[in-house]
Amino acid sequence: ADIPGLVEGAAEGAGLGIQFLKHLTRTRLLLHLVDMAPVDVKQDPVESVKIINRELLHYSDALGKQPQWLILNKMDLVPDDIRDELTQEVLTRLDWQGPVYKISGQTGEGCAQLCEDIMLYLDDLRQSEQPPAKPIEE
């Protein structure tokens, strides 16, 4: 589910928040796609993630506790000499404990690994949710 319109106050019905949040209840994995080179330099990607997580928890404890991965996008626009420092700053400010991927949708950097890991994660999840096969009776 892609929820670019999720805004602060969504859990109380702001914008299309409730519709977006209901849609998310069907997901098995949440990906926070963070713009690491926003056009508006006043936009704080860390605060955006915090707002979304607050709304998820406010809407539903279960939704707020869904597995989450952090996807740092537009890394091709971040100068090489500050990439690691900027990444660490984001992780520290979020106190992030889950998986993190640095990608560029423009160049494709990191995208193949991310997609492969998502597929493996979801396949493993499906396997663990399936009941064991019944033995064949002779």
In terms of Cβ atoms closer than 10 Å to its own Cβ (0-12, 13-18, 19+), residue 131 is: exposed
Q: What's the pTM?
A: 0.80
The better pLDDT of the pair 41, 17 is held by 41
The predicted-structure confidence for 57-75, as pLDDT tens digits, reads as follows: 888 888 888 899 999 999 9
CATH of 10-127, one of 3.40.630.30, 3.30.565.10, 3.40.470.10, 3.40.50.300: 3.40.50.300
Of 7-16, 40-49, 80-89, 124-133, the one with minimum mean pLDDT is: 7-16
Over the stretch 97-120, which tens digit does the pLDDT of each residue have?
999 999 999 999 999 999 999 999
Q: Give the C-alpha separation, 117 to 95, whole Å.
A: 22
| Dihedral angle of Cα 104, 69, 48, 74, to the nearest 10 degrees | -10
